[in-house]
Structure 1
Amino acid sequence: MSIPRQAGKTYLVAAMVFAHCLIHAGSTVAWTAHHNKVMLEVFDSLKAVAGQPGVAPRVAKINSSAENRSIRFVNGSRIVMAARESGALRGVAKVSILVLDEAQILTSNAMSDMLPTQNQAAHPLTIMLGTPPRPKDPGEVFTAQRDAALAASKAGEPLEEATWIEFSAPADCETDDKEAWRKANPSYPKRTPLRAIRKLRRALTEDHFRREALGIWDDLSTPAVIPPHIWKGLADDRSKALSKLVLAIDVSPNREQAAVALAGLRDDELVHVELDESREGTGWIVDHVAARCAKNSIAAVVVDARSPASSLVRALRKAKIRVVTTNTDEMTDACADLVDACMNNELRHIAQPQLTLALNNARKRSIGERWAWNRKTAESDITPIVAATLAHWGVLSRKVRNTAAQRTGRRVMVL
């Protein structure tokens, strides 16, 4: 089951497993989560269910020790709690129902370790619960289940020995459309109030909110946004930016990679883009950009306000660097502008392998009727092309007023 956060999935599945335990004496249910903290939160919820007047007389004992967290019923059934990060279900056998919470970070190894616990059960049932995985999540098991369900649906055939249930807003919906929130979350707005969804909206990035609050999966099946032959045809190793010079910064979601790109106008009025620098981490960025600005006539440094790079804005401005931030609409404009420039032969680059690789690893992520860049896989680094996109936007944007003097000679940036 793919379902957004704060949608009541714990109580839904809890009702199912309690009913199973009460009807089928001697049953064992194992409820697992990846993180110990999540497992403890779920256990508190299950203990609350066990304390309900209609259930409490049928509960024999609740164990809350670190070694044994379980709910035992008078008829011999039990619910056992386990965290996958700490070894999960060692010594537990004949599991009738295996609940895999946080399925978006369920690895193949963890799955292979736990499934044998159901080998001796008469009618075993495995329930996966999760939100759409982030690009960096090890979500191969959960994703494979969804892919199988979509393939079966497309072929008009039933899914063999499985059911896939997905709560999500339409993939092309506006992020702030409250009707989309209602479609994605069956508990909104009665059980999950408007303020709770708004709190998530403020706390999460656009990508994370669409996954975790709206249940929208990333689409990784689409081809390259800019065909490789088009990009290759725009290469010019003698290209250089001479005016309207703009830098831009992007940082990966895990902050392990970052890139600075340059864009500017050539003498033929085409836009030149290039990767200035790409390194691990973020500690180098402010000093690097400050040095570039000190030696070159940089009109502005562009940063997307909703990206991980936004945390650098204060330090950049403290260093007397002119920073221009983009909002969601401007970011989607920037992506469309870059593609249009490539398809209309209005851009040049210098065939840098890192920039080309980043473009090849980039895909579209829908934001309403528009789109922004997304990573093809969890390992993909697209910071170079995102930074280049923002720099290209800066050259064309009225928001970035040109304060840079004309210059001639070699390219502004030398890698």
Structure 2
Amino acid sequence: MAMIKGENKRPNIMDWFTSTVGQILISLFVPALTFVVLWQGFIFLRDANAPKLIIVLVAVVWGVGGVALLYYVSNWLVEKTSRQWLHRLQPFVFVGPAIVLLGWYLAIPTLRTLYLSFMDANSRHFVGLENFIFAFTDRVMLEAFRNNLLWMIFGTAFSVGLGLAIAVLADRSRFEKIYKAIIFMPMAISFVGAGVIWKFMYTYKGEGFGVVEIGLLNAILIALGGKPQPWLTQPPWNNFFLIVIMVWLQTGYAMVILSSAIKSIPAELLEAARVDGANEFQVFFQIMIPVIKGTLLSVITTIVIFSLKLFDIVRVMTGGNNGTNVIANEFYIERFTYGNAGRASAIAIVLLIAVIPVIIYNLRQFRERRAF
């Protein structure tokens, strides 16, 4: 009877799902199928000649509905497995597609750029470290490194310093929301838009009969009896006039993040310090700063990363001329003006290497604070 029962027993589909092979296939199937679905939808939308309204509807249904259904079905399949494999595979069901997309659009292009950095201008012949030697010895590149250092030091210092000061002072005003809204408004403007706005601020027409200054700063100087100045053609001061734009844009970001951190400080702690005789400066430097240290470091590293890869403002305002060039702009010039793919790739790798230590430090700070 035992043998008959054993012979009549046949594996069902659920047994297959709970097997090791089934678990592995599911974990590989989900991100792969997601990528195929999204890719086919992209091809359809790219090649379709249908009316735009239909294309938009298809994009919404295909992109949002299709992916949502795929996640639902995949999650349902994984939930049918044992509890042990459920905890192992469920994260990959949701994170897997993102990992595939990051690999395709970030990791693979990075490796390809690294490969091209060892090739000549036309990516045909291997030239070794020649492109990297150019990146670290050329006069223009050294100027770009210097300027990025100025952006990193002064741009970060003023953005964070002003953001912190405004966060502390506005917290004591009944018009806090209005002040913060005004300071935060520039964050809604793109970097290109900010560059165009400030270009009108710095515009210089020159001196002479019949010349009308349309730049706001020069118009103010003339109204006060002074002479118009070519703000963006006088190195190294023109770099600081450009840094003002970054401070204008980033102060609002620093203010909002630091303000939320300051508001999380227990009021009893601050009150106890004041009762013990601490003045406002002592409360600020000895209580507030140590408590919000983690948030402060995160804001600093974020703005430092932005300053290292800065491109839009310089490109719109000066194009890198008159001693204002930065690393990202020189990459653009080498690749799209001179057509030198090898040098451009080497510059991109140098920029990536410069940013990586800051990113690692930022991630360690997040981990220590158990942000994720």
Do they superpose with TM above 0.5?
A: no
TM-score normalised by length of structure 1:
0.21
Higher helix content, 1 or 2: 2
Q: Flag the structure with more relative contact order, 1 or 2, with Cα contacts below 8 A and sequence separation at least 6.
A: 2
Greater C-alpha radius of gyration: 2
Higher strand content, 1 or 2: 1
